[in-house]
Structure 1
Amino acid sequence: MDKNSEGFTLVELLIVIAILAIIVAIAIPRLTGYKRLAEERFCTANRKTVEKMYNAFLLENDMDNQSDFEQFLIENFNQVCPAG
């Protein structure tokens, strides 16, 4: 085989694969942290939406039971935070 032939050697390919593996090994834990943060923010947004719905329900029915929000949440919206 000619020394000036075009293409990559096996060593060059292995080095590139090793570098990509290192980058992936660093990136996966960071992405997991972002996923957890997004789930927490999603849950907080859902709770705020449900609380606004509850307050609207209280206003519509001329009720004043703000302290019962947690019970309302449990009875009607058991999946406010589906991520956990």
Structure 2
Amino acid sequence: MSKILKNEKGFTLIEMLIVILIISILLLIAVPNMSKNTAVVKDKSCEATIELIQSQVAVYEVEKGTPPTDMSDLTDYVDTITCADGEALVLENGKVMRASEATTGS
């Protein structure tokens, strides 16, 4: 029986700890970069949505002869009027923009 145990090979505790340490370091590097990229993707998606809705504003003007006065006028032209992150979009002076970028007041 003791011969069988002596001939079996496996990982030592030190080897396992080193592997876990290396994996932990790689995760510490990778996870923040992934979350940062997610924010960039959401921002780019919002910009694309704004461009799409802006083009639909032009279509609305051609079809109706007047510019839309509110985002609710565009419900027949676009399915969504929010960004991927849930931020509302508003129409101000014929230009589509994020609600946080719109001027408040007259």
Query: If the length of structure 2 is used for normalisation, what is the TM-score?
Result: 0.62
Moved over 4 A (4+): 75-79
Q: CA RMSD in A?
A: 2.6
Select the structure that is richer in helix. Answer: 1
Equivalent position of 2:92 in the other structure: none
1:12-43: CA deviation from partner (whole Å, max 9, x where unpaired): 01110011001101111111111110000000
Taking the TM superposition and a 5 Å limit, the aligned residue runs for 1:5-84 are: 5-63=8-66, 65=67, 68=69, 71-72=70-71, 79-83=81-85, 84=87
Find the aligned partners of 2:81 and 2:62 in 1 and give their Cα distance: 24
> 3-state SS of the aligned residue for 1:80?
coil
Q: TM-score, normalised by structure 1?
A: 0.76
Q: Which runs of 5+ in 2 are unaligned?
A: 88-106
Unaligned regions of 5+ residues in structure 1, if any?
none
Quick check: which one's strand share is greater? 2
Question: Matched residues, percent identical?
Answer: 24
Partners of 1:54 and 1:45 in 2: how far apart? 14
Bigger RCO of structures 1 and 2 (CA < 8 A, at least 6 apart): 1
